[in-house]
Structure 1
Amino acid sequence: MNRRDFLKHVAAAAAFAAANPWRSLLAQTASAPSSLPATMTARKSPVHIIRYRKSQQLIKGHGISRWRLREALIAGFCELAQCPVLPKALQAFFQPNDVIGFKFDNTLEYLLATNRVFSEEIFRIFLQNGFQPHQLLFLGATPADPLLPKPRKPNFGWTDQIDFGSGKDQFTAALDDVTALVNVPLLRADAISGISVCLRNATYGFLRHPARFYRNACSPYIVDIYRLPIIRDKIRLHLVNAVKVPIRTDVLEHDDAVSPQEALLFSRDAVATDAVAFEIIERLRANAGLQPLLESDDFLPLLVEAARAGLGKYHPDQIDLKPLWLE
C-alpha cells in the first residue's frame, strides 16, 4: 500500500459513516499487496480510533458531553490494553506505585476549550481505579472541578541543560518527578512541522526554549529529543484529542479552521499515530478546499526520520487501524 491508498483508507476510517461496517473496509485493506518485505510487516502497530456512530455526541453546543467522553476514554484504554476490565487494563500500562504525568497540548486551548474537561475526566477515571491524587500530575491542563481532590503539584522549575545531540536545552523539571507519562496531544495542523501531534507534544512541550529548534521543520530535533531516556522510557501511551481538529496553519479564527471530528486515538506508537493523524488532516484540508501540507505522494519526512531512528512505524503496511464505533 502506498501513501495515496493509505489516505483513502484513513479518509474512510475518519468519515462519519453510520452504516458502513468497518470489518469489510479493513479486510479489503488487509488483502492489498504490501510494498514492504514480510519481515517488516509481521508485527503491525495498532492505532485505535474511538468514535460515536452518530455526530454531535461528544460535542454539545460549545462544550463536551462529560459522560460520553468518559465512556470513550474507558473504551480506548480497554481496547489498547486488549482487556475489557478497566482496572486490569490500566495495570497493563502502569505499576501501582507509578507517578503518572499527563502531558497536554495547551497551545490552542483558548480556541478549543477541551483540555480542562479531558483532564478532569481522566483524573476521575484513575482515582476510581486504584490511583491516589499524589500519583497524578497534569501538565498543560489543570483539573479544576471543586468536587475533585487536588492532583500532585508539578515542579515548574527547569533541569540543567541536557544535550540531545543536535542541540541543548533545559527541560521541565516535572520530568524528574514522574515515573510514567501519558502523552495527550491535540490532532492539529502546524505551520512549522506540518502537524503537531504525538512526537511534537512529547518533545517541544517539555523544552524551555522550543523556538530555538523550529528551523528545518523541527528536524532532526524532534527525533533526537524523543530518543532521550527521560522521555522515551517513560511514555506508556498516546491519547490523541481529535474532538475538534484545527486544520489551518494560518488564520485560526477562520470559519473552517476547526473541523469537529469527535474522535479519540489511542496507541503506544507515536510515529504510527502521527502517520494516521497526518492523513486525517490532509483529508480534512482537502474537503475544506485547502492546499495539502505535502504536495507529493511521499511520506512526511519527519515520520520517515523517526522510523529510521527506531521510534515507531510510519508505513501504512506496518499500521493496523482498529476502529471502535460507540452507540
Structure 2
Amino acid sequence: MSKFHIFSRRDFLKEVPAGAAVLSATGQAGALFGAERTAEHAKSRVVIAHDALLRGTGSAVDSSHMLSLLDRAMQTLTDRDHAFEAWRKLVHPGEVVGLKVNTLGGRGISSNPQLVEAICERLQEAGIRSADIVVWDRNSEELERAGFHLSIGGNGIQCYGTDRVDYEEDLVSYGSVGSRLSKVLTRRSDVLINVPVLKDHDGAGVTLALKNMYGVIHNPNKYHPNGCDPYIADLNMLPEIRTRMRLTICDATTAMYDGGPAYKPEHSWNCNSLLVSQDPVALDYTGWQMIERKRAALGLKTLEAESRAPHYIATAADASHGIGTNDPERMLAIAV
C-alpha cells in the first residue's frame, strides 16, 4: 500500500507524454480496442475524478456537474481534449452497448441514474443509437427501486433486468465457476460498460468492478465462500464477459466504508467521485485503497485485520488470470 500514489493532473502531464495510449495491464483485445500501444509495459490508468460541488447545496447529485465530472474523467483517461473524441475512441456506431449497473443496494447505494443518463448522452453523441443502449441488471424491480425507468422495445434507450429475458440454458465454465449467463449480455450486448459502486462487502472485503459481474450469472450465491476467491477472478475470465468488457465507470458519488453490501447510511459518505479505467483489477485495487484510507481516518481496523481483505484482486492479476494489474508500480492513478 505504501507504493500506491495518486498523481495530480500536473503530475500526470509530467509522467506521460502527450498522445499516450490507454492500455490495460494485460493487453486483452476487448480492453485495448481502439487504443494505440506506445510502450510494451505501459501503465494501467485509473482516473479518480472528484467534484466537491457535485451535490450543490442539497443531497441530490446535480446533473450538469455529473456530466462535467464524467467528461473530465473520460478526457483524462483517453488523453483527448473533447468528450466526443474520448467516447469515439472507445465505442463505434453500429455497436450495441450494455451498461451493467448495480442496483442491489436500493436508491441509497446503487449506480446513480444521473451518472447513467450522462453516459447515455455521450454514447449517443458518439454515434450509438439510443435503441442500441441497454441499461441492465439482474432484476427489473431492483432497477426501479434504484430510480431507473424500465423500457423494453421501441426506439429509446432500453432498461430492464435479466428477469425479463432469462439466462442462457447452457452452463459456461472457467476454473471454479460454472454458470448460466444473462441473455442481455450474450444476445444484446456487443460492448460492456461496467457501472459498479464503490462499497464495502462483508465477505469479499470490497465490491467494485470485478464483483459486479456476479449480477450477470444465475447462481452468484454459490460463489461467496473464502471471500469470493478465486470465484470472482474465474468468473471474469469467461470469454463472454472478457471480450465485451470495454470500460469501467465506478460510481463513487456515495460510497460505503463498512457494513456492506446492503445500504447502511451510517457507514456511507459523500465521496463525490468517479473512478474510471479500462483495467478492472487496477480500478478495484485503487478503490480498495480509498476505502482503507477512509477506514483509517475513522479509526477502523484494516480489512486484513478483520480477515476480509479482498484477496480476489491479487488472484485476478496472477499469471493464470492476467485480467489486469494489482501492482502499484504498473498503475498510473490520476486525480482530476
Asked if these proteins are the same fold (TM beyond 0.5), I'd say yes
Residue 311 of structure 1 corresponds to 323
Q: Residues 130-149 of structure 1, C-alpha deviation per residue, up to 9 Å, x if partnerless?
A: 22111100013575499xx7
Identity within the alignment, %: 23
1:150 to 145, 150, 156: 156
Distance in 1 between residues matched to 2:103 and 2:57, nearest whole Å: 21
**Structure 1 position 323 matched with structure 2 position 335:** yes
Q: Distance in 1 between matches of 2:264 and 2:119?
A: 31
User: Would you say how many aligned residue pairs link Structure 1 and Structure 2?
Assistant: 295
Instruction: Pick from 270, 273, 278 the counterpart of residue 263 of structure 1.
Output: 273
Q: CA deviation at 1:215?
A: 0.5
> What amino acid is the match of 2:242?
R
* Structure 1 stretches lacking a partner, 5+ long: 14-20, 29-39
Q: 1:121 aligns with which of 104, 118, 123?
A: 118
- The Cα shift of 1:305 comes to 1.0
Is contact 1:237-1:267 (8 Å) kept?
yes
Contact 2:111 2:195 in 1 (8 A): no
**Any conservation in 2 of the 1:186–1:196 contact (CA below 8 Å)?**
yes
Deviation, 1:49, is: 1.1
Tell me whether 1:86 sits opposite 2:87 in the alignment. Answer: no
2:196 matches 1:185: yes
Q: 1:163 offset after TM fit, Å?
A: 2.0
CA offsets per residue over residues 266-286 of structure 1, 9 Å max, x none? 110001111110000001112
Q: Is the 8 A contact 1:188 1:246 kept in 2?
A: yes
Give the alignment partner of residue 224 of structure 2, picking from 179, 192, 214. 214
Check whether the contact 1:120–1:144 (CA below 8 A) recurs between aligned residues: no
Equivalent AA in structure 2 for residue 169 of structure 1: S
Q: Deviations over 1:109-132 (max 9, x none)?
A: 332365222222222222233221
Correspondence for 2:43 = 44
Deviations 1:34-87 (A, max 9, x none): xxxxxx9942111111112xx243465221100000111122222222112322
Whether contact under 8 Å (1:307, 1:313) holds in the other structure is yes
TM-score (norm 1): 0.81
Contact 1:45 1:313 in 2 (8 A): yes
Q: Which residue of 2 aligns with 1:69?
A: 66
Q: Which amino acid aligns with 2:2?
A: R
Separation in 2 of the partners of 1:198 and 1:93?
18
| Distance in structure 2 (CA, Å) of the matches to 1:112 and 1:180 | 25
Letter of the 1:302 counterpart: Y
SS of equivalent residue, structure 1 residue 264: strand
Alpha carbons 2:111, 2:197 under 8 Å: kept: no
Amino acid corresponding to residue 156 of structure 2 in structure 1 = K
Pairwise CA RMSD of aligned residues?
3.0
Where does residue 226 of structure 1 map in the other structure?
236
Alignment partner of 1:237 is 2:247: yes
Asked if the contact 2:227–2:311 (Cα under 8 Å) also holds between the matched residues in 1, the reply is no
Bigger drift between 286-295 and 90-99 goes to: 286-295
Q: How far did 1:264 drift?
A: 0.6
- Selected match of 1:289 from 299, 307, 312: 299
* Cα deviation, residue 211, structure 1: 0.8
> Normalization by structure 2: what TM-score?
0.79
Residue aligning to 1:18: none
